[in-house]
């Protein structure tokens, strides 16, 4: 329900601006300039820092609530390591013991080829992935230092590892994949993930789930919070709960939740926390359902959180939840932005360039909640989703609704961190365009997303007898293009300036340039040479940019060549808006009439194929920038401030902790599980 997003620079293209050479920096306040978003970089990973804007303005009660919920978010860290692979905790502890040993510190040098340096890189990678498998590709990564060097270093530390565990680290044949997905193999036996005990087979697990399935109208999610193991030849369930599996960590979580309870903002929130405590204590899945319902109903608290076994992507059978945590609070200013758009949804509908017979008489805008993340934990850390859409149980969603939020401060951190990485200098045609993007790029991107989500998808109507299914395999590309075009058309409308959403009538140009450049050129960095575009959002973006480019008869947009490199040039922004409007009219007609043949032709002509020479050129230019495709974060540090009598008078937030320091501290202060669970 909540998709982890692959953040290549192309997605973070929104942030194509650079700090160099642009005079206008109205959007960058002084704090921002001092704040360092880039923390560390190794392999294909980059570590960033995010700001918790607005934390200082929260009430003392809210700050304390966040403090204790943050403690609960960090206390489950070991659970995720163990879920990812049963050797992970031992390996992490051995690596940290070596890293902290005097012998290691004495031999440490910064030569990137040296054994200690390669060792440090490996450890950083283990922290990033919460284990020895890549967090995204699922493949085990191998140490670049030698086994002999490691065994000697380990002997100088105060930790020992069995040969069996060292084999898992170094032998490429062992535990290759965290989660296997190939056809025709036993998914459980070939996955390193620890959702099933040693010796369990896929058939045994499936049989157990089938026998225990809850077929009632309000079913329990059997298997969500347990590991299946084989004992004495029989399949047994080990439940994640206090007194059960992962007890030592869950006891700490419960303790922090109890402290948080005291600072709950509303009776609804109090119930959420109480139910979660009870669920962690008992492991009872009826209680979990009650907790989910209470969570959905808690709409008036400013602070919100997720803590527990939630998403099921990492279990090859898609049943057991991975431990994750996030604490956040509502971003009032940004939520206001989405509310304003939602309130004007009817005006947008009435004034859109679509044909009158396809317009909705009555449009209901959607207002999205925008949040500020305050702490990330478990499977949300260091790599993180940029949205949350929960709960996962369909019957609860249907009967009680769900909460869907976007996390503004994390996406802004991606944007800010990308400034000055060379991307904009390489691909944007000139300084004027680049500087406009720096000034208004993030704002335009936020607004475009809001228009897409809060007004675009809900606009237009289907003619009688037409359903979404009419467009079959091209349905999602066409639907995303429709919402994107709606957003693009209105991004340039004076109405946005009138509503106070954009500062002036030219700001939208930043959004137009980045959408066109991304759709025509830079998103190709995510496609391998020779491959077509498959993913619906990528197809949608190329469809729009390519159609407009092919129809720019008066050279509203063009691609020019300079010193052997190609650049997008926009000559006529008003004309470009007219073209977006024209395409929106066509796409709306296709949607309203369910015209499959036209949808197919539109997608196949404009959205799928890639110009191979341009693609090659873009890939080469991108490669030279040496950017890391995957990003993650360090958390801020919260500290209680007490007066002489011991009363808490404030909670401070600090952003200075580094990546290595943070992980070493977490392993010292938030590690509760035994080596073997
Ligand atoms: Zn969409």
Residue 242 Cα to ligand 1 midpoint, Å, equals 41
Query: Total domain count for the chain?
Result: 2
Residues 517 and 662 reside in one and the same domain:
no
pLDDT confidence band for 33 (50 / 70 / 90): low
The residue among 402 and 549 whose pLDDT is bigger is 549
Residue 3 Cα to ligand 1 midpoint, Å, equals 13
- Residue 612: exposed, middle, or buried by beta-carbon count in 10 A (0-12, 13-18, 19+)? exposed
Residues 572 and 452 reside in one and the same domain:
yes
Residue 218 Cα to ligand 1 midpoint, Å, equals 30
> Rounded to an integer, what distance in angstroms lies between the CA atom of residue 560 and that of residue 568?
6
Residues 473 and 606 reside in one and the same domain:
yes
DSSP 8-class letter at 295: H
Residue 668 Cα to ligand 1 midpoint, Å, equals 43
Residue 449 Cα to ligand 1 midpoint, Å, equals 8
Q: Indicate the average pLDDT of the chain.
A: 93
**Which of 161, 151, 193 is closest to 176 using CA atoms?**
193
The reported pLDDT for the residue numbered 28 is 45
Residues 376 and 459 reside in one and the same domain:
yes
In a domain, 238, yes or no: no
Residues 657 and 598 reside in one and the same domain:
no
- Indicate the helix (H) or strand (E) that contains 374: strand 369-378
Asked if residue 382 has a cis previous peptide bond (ω within 30° of 0), the answer is yes
pLDDT confidence band for 21 (50 / 70 / 90): low
**Which of 203, 202, 199, 205 is closest to 228 using CA atoms?**
205
In a domain, 224, yes or no: no
Residue 515 Cα to ligand 1 midpoint, Å, equals 15
The reported pLDDT for the residue numbered 27 is 43
> Rounded to an integer, what distance in angstroms lies between the CA atom of residue 76 and that of residue 79?
5
pLDDT confidence band for 387 (50 / 70 / 90): confident
Residues 519 and 658 reside in one and the same domain:
no
pLDDT confidence band for 464 (50 / 70 / 90): very high
Range of the domain at 574: 9-21+29-53+331-633
Residues 658 and 623 reside in one and the same domain:
no
Residues 400 and 485 reside in one and the same domain:
yes
Residue 542 Cα to ligand 1 midpoint, Å, equals 15
User: Over the stretch 478-510, which tens digit does the pLDDT of each residue have?
Assistant: 999 999 999 999 999 999 999 999 999 999 999
Helices (H), 183-284: 202-212, 247-261, 267-282
Residues 370 and 460 reside in one and the same domain:
yes
Residues 114 and 13 reside in one and the same domain:
no
The residue among 145 and 417 whose pLDDT is bigger is 145
Contacting residues for 204 by C-beta, under 8 A, at least 6 apart? 228, 230, 235
Residue 328 Cα to ligand 1 midpoint, Å, equals 24
Residue 465 CB neighbour total at 10 angstroms: 8
Residues 660 and 587 reside in one and the same domain:
no
Residue 366 Cα to ligand 1 midpoint, Å, equals 13
User: 25-39, 227-241, 537-551, 662-676: which range is least confident on average?
Assistant: 25-39
In a domain, 279, yes or no: no
Residue 496 Cα to ligand 1 midpoint, Å, equals 20
The reported pLDDT for the residue numbered 136 is 87
Residues 467 and 532 reside in one and the same domain:
yes
Instruction: Annotate 1-67 with three-state secondary structure.
Output: CCCCCCCCCCHHHHHCCCCCCCCCCCCCCHHHHHCCCEEEEECCEEEEECCCCCCCCCCHHHHHHHH
Give mean pLDDT, residues 109-135. 96
- Indicate the helix (H) or strand (E) that contains 86: none
Residue 388 Cα to ligand 1 midpoint, Å, equals 15
Residue 59 Cα to ligand 1 midpoint, Å, equals 35
User: Over the stretch 563-592, which tens digit does the pLDDT of each residue have?
Assistant: 999 999 999 999 999 999 999 999 999 999
Residue 452 Cα to ligand 1 midpoint, Å, equals 6
Distance of CA 590 to the CA centre of its chain: 32
Model-level pTM?
A: 0.86
Residue 482 Cα to ligand 1 midpoint, Å, equals 9
Residue 47 Cα to ligand 1 midpoint, Å, equals 28
State the Cα torsion 310-313-315-320 to the nearest 10°.
20
Residue 630 Cα to ligand 1 midpoint, Å, equals 23
Residue 484 Cα to ligand 1 midpoint, Å, equals 7
The reported pLDDT for the residue numbered 599 is 98
């Amino acid at each position: 329900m909540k998709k982890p997003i692959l953040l290549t620079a192309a997605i973070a293209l929104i942030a194509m601006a650079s700090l160099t050479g642009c005079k206008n920096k109205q959007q960058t306040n002084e704090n921002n300039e001092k704040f360092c978003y880039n923390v560390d970089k190794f392999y294909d990973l980059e570590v960033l820092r995010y700001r918790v804007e607005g934390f200082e303005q929260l009430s003392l009660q809210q700050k304390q609530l966040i403090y204790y919920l943050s403690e609960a978010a960090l206390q489950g860290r070991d659970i995720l390591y163990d879920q990812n692979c049963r050797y992970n905790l031992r390996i992490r502890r051995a690596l940290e013991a070596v890293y902290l040993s005097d012998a290691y510190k004495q031999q440490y040098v910064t030569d990137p080829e040296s054994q200690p340096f390669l060792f440090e890189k490996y450890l950083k990678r283990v922290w990033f992935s919460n284990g020895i498998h890549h967090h995204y590709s699922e493949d085990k990564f191998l140490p670049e230092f030698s086994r002999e060097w490691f065994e000697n270093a380990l002997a100088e530390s105060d930790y020992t590892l069995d040969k069996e565990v060292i084999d898992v680290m170094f032998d490429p044949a062992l535990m290759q994949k965290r989660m296997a997905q190939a056809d025709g193999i036993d998914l459980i036996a070939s996955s390193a993930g620890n959702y099933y005990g040693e010796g369990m087979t896929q058939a045994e697990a499936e049989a157990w789930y089938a026998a225990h399935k809850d077929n009632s109208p309000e079913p329990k999610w059997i298997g969500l919070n347990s590991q299946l193991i084989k004992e004495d030849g029989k399949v047994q369930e080990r439940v994640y709960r206090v007194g059960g599996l992962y007890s030592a960590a869950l006891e700490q979580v419960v303790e922090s939740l109890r402290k948080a309870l005291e600072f709950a903002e509303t009776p609804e929130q109090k119930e959420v926390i109480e139910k979660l405590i009870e669920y962690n204590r008992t492991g009872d899945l009826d209680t979990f359902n009650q907790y989910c319902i209470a969570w959905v109903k808690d709409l008036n608290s400013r602070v919100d959180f997720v803590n527990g076994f939630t998403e099921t992507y990492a279990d090859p059978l898609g049943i057991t939840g991975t431990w994750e945590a996030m604490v956040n609070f509502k971003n009032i200013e940004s939520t206001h932005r989405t509310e304003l758009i939602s309130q004007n949804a009817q005006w947008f509908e009435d004034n859109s360039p679509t044909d009158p017979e396809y317009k909705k008489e009555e449009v209901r805008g959607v207002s999205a909640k925008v949040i500020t993340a305050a702490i990330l934990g478990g499977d949300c850390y260091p790599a993180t989703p940029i949205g949350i859409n929960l709960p996962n149980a369909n019957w609860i969603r249907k009967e009680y609704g769900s909460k869907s939020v976007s996390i503004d401060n994390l996406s802004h951190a991606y944007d800010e961190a990308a400034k000055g990485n060379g991307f904009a200098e390489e691909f944007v045609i000139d300084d004027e365009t680049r500087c406009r993007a720096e000034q208004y790029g993030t704002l335009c991107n936020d607004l475009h997303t809001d228009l897409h989500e809060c007004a675009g998808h809900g606009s237009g109507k289907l003619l009688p007898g037409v359903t979404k299914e009419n467009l079959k395999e091209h349905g999602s590309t066409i639907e995303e293009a429709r919402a994107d075009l709606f957003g693009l058309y209105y991004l340039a409308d004076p109405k946005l300036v009138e509503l106070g959403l954009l500062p002036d009538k030219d700001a939208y140009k930043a959004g137009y340039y980045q959408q066109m450049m991304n759709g025509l050129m830079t998103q190709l960095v995510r496609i391998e040479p020779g491959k077509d575009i498959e993913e619906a959002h990528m197809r949608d973006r190329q469809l729009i940019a390519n159609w407009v480019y092919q129809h720019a008869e008066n050279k509203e947009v063009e691609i020019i060549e300079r010193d052997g490199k190609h650049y997008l040039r926009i000559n006529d922004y008003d004309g470009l808006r007219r073209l977006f409007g024209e395409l929106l009219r066509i796409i709306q007609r296709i949607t309203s009439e369910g015209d499959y043949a036209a949808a197919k032709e539109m997608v196949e002509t404009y959205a799928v194929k890639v110009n191979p020479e341009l693609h090659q050129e873009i890939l080469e230019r991108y490669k030279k920038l040496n950017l890391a495709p995957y990003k993650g974060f360090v958390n801020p540090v919260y500290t209680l401030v007490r007066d002489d009598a011991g009363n808490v008078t404030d909670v401070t937030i600090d952003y200075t902790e580094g990546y290595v320091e943070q992980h070493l501290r977490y392993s010292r202060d938030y590690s509760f599980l035994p080596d073997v669970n």
